[in-house]
Amino acid sequence: MKKPRFIKSIFAQILGVVFLFSCASWNNTEKGAVIGGGTGGAVGAVLGNKSGQAGKGAAIGAVVGAAAGAAVGIYMDKQAKKIEEEVKDAEVERVGDAIKLTFDSGILFGFDSYSLTPASQENIMKFAEILKEYPDTDLSIEGHTDNRGSYQYNLGLSERRAASVKNYLKMQGIDDKRMTTLGFSFDKPVATNDTDEGRAKNRRVEILITANDVLIEKAEKGEIEN
């Protein structure tokens, strides 16, 4: 009995996703080539969901070809490497076609404060210079807290901290249109809130860097320098 075409498609997409995530050590260049190839939008959507940017992940996977996907990956790899080398006290992680930059809130702010410390201002200034070198990316700046205090208070604090980072980047010349901010209160812990160590990890600002439409278009036209 012949299997319907849509069932075959689903099987192919599932196999593609399993294959991609079995290769956790791949860099963005390699993943970009796969996303741009046969696994298509399904893989892109999964990567996008993991990064919190489902729409963009799906768009890259569905629209670009293998060569363009690899070009986007190269661009993001170079940017991530430079951030790792020049921005202190920040954790840099490749997540699909995105870059996730995590700052411990204790590094950025004083206790119960959303005013950036002098050291964090210096780091963000360096980060801004890199963003100017890589203009074809957008930023989602996300504030997170531990669960001490009320939900509403922590929501406001997380929003104000994300806004502080955005405003300082804007002061350094980063286009406001590239940046969005979100506050999550204690909705998205990365560790237990039952210990001091865990709560410290949950107090953080994450910056998700994603390819914008200009970069995707350049990749499709072969205009990205390797």
Task: Classify residue 127: in a domain, yes or no.
Answer: yes
Task: Classify residue 46: in a domain, yes or no.
Answer: no
Whether pLDDT at 45 is above 50: no
The reported pLDDT for the residue numbered 202 is 93
Nearest to 194 by CA among 148, 160, 136: 148
pTM, two decimal places? 0.75
CB atoms < 10 A from the CB of 173, how many? 10
- DSSP letter string over 39-83? THHHHHHHHHHHHT-HHHHHHHHHH--HHHHHHHHHHHHHHHHHH
CB 56 within 8 A of CB 214: no
Mean of pLDDT values over 32-60: 42
Task: Classify residue 154: in a domain, yes or no.
Answer: yes
How many domains does the structure of the chain reveal? 1
117-157 pLDDT, tens digit per residue, is: 999 999 999 999 999 999 999 999 999 999 999 999 999 99
Q: What's the token pair of residue 96?
A: 């699909």
What is the Cα 122 distance to its own chain's centre? 21
Is residue 63 very low, low, confident or very high in pLDDT (cuts 50, 70, 90)?
low
> What is the span of the domain harbouring residue 73?
64-221
Mean of pLDDT values over 202-208: 95
